[in-house]
Amino acid sequence: MKRKIKVITWGLGSMGSGIAKMILGKKGFTIVGAIDMDPNKVGKKLCNILDLEENDDNCCIVTDKPEQVIKKGFADVCMIATASFTKVVFPLIKMAAEAGMDVVTTAEEMSYPKALDPELSEEMDKIAKENKVSILGTGVNPGFIMDLIVIALTGVCDNVDNINVARINDLACFGKAVMVEQGIGLKKEEFIEGVKNDTVAGHVGFLQSFGMFEEAFNVKFNDVKQEKEPILTTVPRSTEIVSVKPGDVAGCRQLGYASLGDKVFVKMEHPQQIRPELENVGTGDYITINGDPKIDLQIKPEIPGGIATIAICVNMIPLVMNSTPGLKTMLDLPVPRAIIGDVRDIVNDRE
C-alpha cells in the first residue's frame, strides 16, 4: 500500500482546527506538523488541542517555529489557514512551496489573487513551477457558491443577459478574525468609520469572484463597485466569541456590481451576521441567471460556511496534488468532490 499523504497544518483557529480534524477523519492522511502562534497551543500535542484520542497520525507537537517543519521532504501538502489577504499569506506560501510542498489556503483573496495582486500572482506561479508544486486558494465563498457554481450553471445556457447572486448566512461558527473583519460588536458609527479606514473588511471575495467571472466568460468588466452597510440588531445576540447588544452591529450587508457597458452584468448581495434566526431572518443561497434558459437555484438554509469551507479545502487536496505545477484557481481544477474512500487511491504516484 502507498504511504500516507503527509500534511502540515499552519494555523489552528476555528477553520484550521476544523480542517485538521477533518483530515484526520479521512483514510490515507497523516498530519506530520502543526504551526500556530498561540502560546496556549504551542508545545502541546495536536490530538490534545483537537480533543482526539492519540494515535500515530495526530500526535505531532504544535510549534511556533515554522522552519522546524517547513523543510524539504517533510510533507506533501501544507494547509494554510491564517489570514484572508494574499500579501499576508504570501511569505508562508513561498516558504512551503520552496520546500517542495503543494499548498492549499483558506485566504479569500487567494481564490483569485490576480484580481488585486497580479505581480505577486506571477511570482507565486513562478515559484510553484520552479519547485514542481501547485498552489490553490479556496473556500465556500469565494471559491464555490457565489462564483464556481454560478459559472457551472451557465454551461447549459445559450446566452446570459445578467446574473444575480445572494447569500444570506450565519457567522456564528466562525472565529475572532471573521468577527473583526465583519465589524461585529461595533457601534454603528464605529462600523462606518471602519469601512472608511479599511479596518472593517466585510466580505473579502467579491473582487475575486468578479475576476473569476471575467476569465470564465472571456469578458472585461468596465465598472466594478462595492457597498457595505451595518446590520444592526434589535435583540441581544451572542456566540462563543462575541456578544452584541441591541442597537449595535451584528453583521455586514455587502453589495457588489460588475458592469459590461452601461448594464450591470453581475449583482452580488451578501448579508452576513451572527444568529440571524433571532430576528426571524432565514438563511439561503440564491442564484438567478437571466438567459436562455433562465435558471433559478435556491438552497435553504444556506450551505453552512464553516463546515463547507473546511470540507472543500480538504477535498481539494488530492486534486491539487494531481494537477500540473503552478498557481491554480478553482477554474483550473476538476469538479470538487467529497473524499469518501482512501485518499491514497486517488492521488497519482509522486516522483
Q: Residue 173: what pLDDT?
A: 87
Mean of pLDDT over the chain: 97
Question: Do residues 291 and 186 both lie within one domain?
Answer: yes
Question: Do residues 320 and 255 both lie within one domain?
Answer: no
Question: Do residues 206 and 179 both lie within one domain?
Answer: yes
Question: Do residues 298 and 314 both lie within one domain?
Answer: no
Q: Residue 65: what pLDDT?
A: 98
| Domain presence at residue 36 | yes
CA 286 – CA 291 distance, rounded (Å): 16
Q: At residue 349, does pLDDT exceed 90?
A: no
| Domain presence at residue 67 | yes
Q: At residue 351, does pLDDT exceed 90?
A: no
| Domain presence at residue 143 | no
For the stretch 81-140, pLDDT in tens is 999 999 999 999 999 999 999 999 999 999 999 999 999 999 999 999 999 999 999 999
| Domain presence at residue 33 | yes
Question: Do residues 57 and 12 both lie within one domain?
Answer: yes
Question: Do residues 103 and 156 both lie within one domain?
Answer: no
Beta-strand pair 263-273/249-260: antiparallel
Q: At residue 265, does pLDDT exceed 60?
A: yes
CB 93 within 8 A of CB 124: yes
Burial of 182 (0-12, 13-18, 19+ CB in 10 A): buried
Residue 269: which CATH number? 3.30.360
Q: Number of structural domains, the chain?
A: 2
Band of pLDDT at residue 219, cut at 50, 70 and 90: very high
Q: Residue 177: what pLDDT?
A: 85
Domain coverage including residue 207: 148-302
Q: Residue 350: what pLDDT?
A: 64
| Domain presence at residue 269 | yes
H helix or E strand, kind and range, residue 322:
helix 317-322
Question: Do residues 79 and 220 both lie within one domain?
Answer: no
If you average pLDDT over residues 128-154, what whole number do you get? 98
For the stretch 292-337, pLDDT in tens is 999 999 999 999 999 999 999 999 999 999 999 999 999 999 999 9
Instruction: Find, among 308, 251, 256, the residue nearest to 279 by Cα.
Output: 251
Point out which residues pair with 77 in neighbouring strands.
Answer: 7, 102
What phi, psi does 142 have (nearest 5°)? -75, 165
Q: At residue 276, does pLDDT exceed 80?
A: yes
| Domain presence at residue 284 | yes
CA 69 to chain centre: 24
Question: Do residues 296 and 281 both lie within one domain?
Answer: yes
- pTM of full prediction above 0.95: no
Question: Do residues 312 and 298 both lie within one domain?
Answer: no
Encoded amino acid at 173, one letter: C
Q: At residue 46, does pLDDT exceed 70?
A: yes
| Domain presence at residue 188 | yes
Q: Residue 1: what pLDDT?
A: 60
Question: Do residues 164 and 101 both lie within one domain?
Answer: no
Q: From residue 307, how far is each of 92, 216, 293, 334 by CA, in Å?
A: 24, 27, 32, 21
Band of pLDDT at residue 32, cut at 50, 70 and 90: very high
| Domain presence at residue 351 | no
If you average pLDDT over residues 259-284, what whole number do you get? 97
Residue 129: which CATH number? 3.40.50.720
Question: Do residues 72 and 165 both lie within one domain?
Answer: no
Question: Do residues 53 and 69 both lie within one domain?
Answer: yes
Q: Residue 64: what pLDDT?
A: 98
